[in-house]
Amino acid sequence: MTVAEIANKLGLTLKCGEDGADREVTGGYVGDLLSLVMGKAQSGNAWVTIQTNINIMAVASLTDVAMIILAEGLSPDPNTAKRSDMEGIPVYSSEKTAFDIVCELKDLV
Amino acid sequence: MSEPLMVLHYDVDGTDFTVAGEASGAVKKVLKQLGVGAEVIRKVAIAMYECEINMVIHAHGGTIDVEIRPESVRMIHKDVGPGIPDVEKAMQAGFSTASQQVRELGFGAGMGLPNMKKYTDEMKITTELGKGTIVDMTVYMK
């Protein structure tokens, strides 16, 4: 399933990085400690987090994740959004908790 | 050891968190262009990023020299920071001296050095209190 299809199914709001919306999503990872995410997230994953600072884009780019989903209605910082557009890695937001997002994601990837 | 195919140099700004990851991102792109395998690129990117972040958090920045050879990628990170008082302790997963502010950004989990060790084939730390630290890491192109 693609990033855009998952966003549609989960009712996510696109915040930035629209260019990457056609990419295929394979699996997911949840975490807010960036060192753990660096070591564990896999290429093509949907990454669910509550971190919004620009460092998430460096981690997303280096691990090659397909999309970032911000839980709890959070929005990316302005410089995070800028970097997301530059790299073409979409950042979405959801009002739901990380737990609820993952429960729904489980059946899609 | 053979002559490097390519030598890259980066300066890491110690005051700006927002640029951390630029050097590792650039090296990742170069390795991709050279057709290096995904797993090697991943290991290099993780180790370099962790080291870059450490240089920003603890050591006011520094320099990174990367040597790409047919058989390996070597990354030499040099800083003129405070040095590491107890390297063995610093290598323990979960041990961190990072500030609360840094932790709120998602760092300071005490996984930096353990991750570097885990994702590289060779790692050597040379450190002197008040002088600085050199972290020399190599990933083999297996």
ipTM over the 0.95 cut-off: no
pLDDT digits (tens, 9 = 90+) for A28-83: 999 999 988 998 999 999 999 999 999 999 999 999 999 999 999 999 999 999 99
Domains of chain B: total: 1
Q: Is residue B115 part of a domain?
A: yes
Q: Is residue B109 part of a domain?
A: yes
Measured CA to CA, the distance from residue A12 to residue B38 in angstroms comes to: 30
Contact by Cβ (8 Å): B95, B115: no
Question: B98-102 long-range contacts, Cβ below 8 Å, gap at least 24?
Answer: B98/B57, B98/B58, B102/B57
Which positions in chain B touch A57 (Cβ < 8 Å)? 21
Confidence of residue B15 (pLDDT cuts 50, 70, 90): confident
Q: Do A34 and B107 touch (CB under 8 A)?
A: yes
Residue B106 CA: distances (Å) to CA of A55, A98, B2, B5, B21 = 9, 16, 39, 36, 14
Q: Is residue B96 part of a domain?
A: yes
Which positions in chain A touch B107 (Cβ < 8 Å)? 33-35, 55
CATH number at residue B101: 3.30.565.10
Domains of chain A, residue spans? 3-105
φ/ψ of B114, rounded to 5, equals -60, -40
Q: Is residue B47 part of a domain?
A: yes
Q: Is residue B117 part of a domain?
A: yes
The distance between the two most distant Cα atoms of chain B, rounded to a whole number of Å, is 44
Q: Is residue B26 part of a domain?
A: yes
Q: Do A36 and B111 touch (CB under 8 A)?
A: yes
pLDDT digits (tens, 9 = 90+) for B51-63: 999 999 999 999 9
Instruction: Return the pLDDT at B18.
Output: 76
Q: How far is A108 from chain B (nearest CA, A)?
A: 25
Contact by Cβ (8 Å): B16, A56: no
What architecture is the A3-105 domain classified under in CATH?
Answer: 3-Layer(aba) Sandwich (3.40)
User: Assign residue B61 a region: left if phi > 0, alpha if psi is -120 to 50, beta otherwise?
Assistant: left
What size, in residues, is chain A? 109
Neighbours of B93 (CB within 10 A): 15
User: Assign residue A36 a region: left if phi > 0, alpha if psi is -120 to 50, beta otherwise?
Assistant: alpha
Q: How far is A75 from chain B (nearest CA, A)?
A: 15
pLDDT digits (tens, 9 = 90+) for B33-89: 999 999 999 999 999 999 999 999 999 999 999 999 999 999 999 999 999 999 999
Instruction: Return the pLDDT at B21.
Output: 87
Q: How far is A74 from chain B (nearest CA, A)?
A: 14
- What amino acid occupies position B137? M
Measured CA to CA, the distance from residue A68 to residue A21 in angstroms comes to: 11
Which positions in chain A touch B17 (Cβ < 8 Å)? 53-55
Domain that holds residue B19: 6-140
Q: What's the mean per-residue pLDDT of chain B? A: 94
Q: Do B111 and A79 touch (CB under 8 A)?
A: no
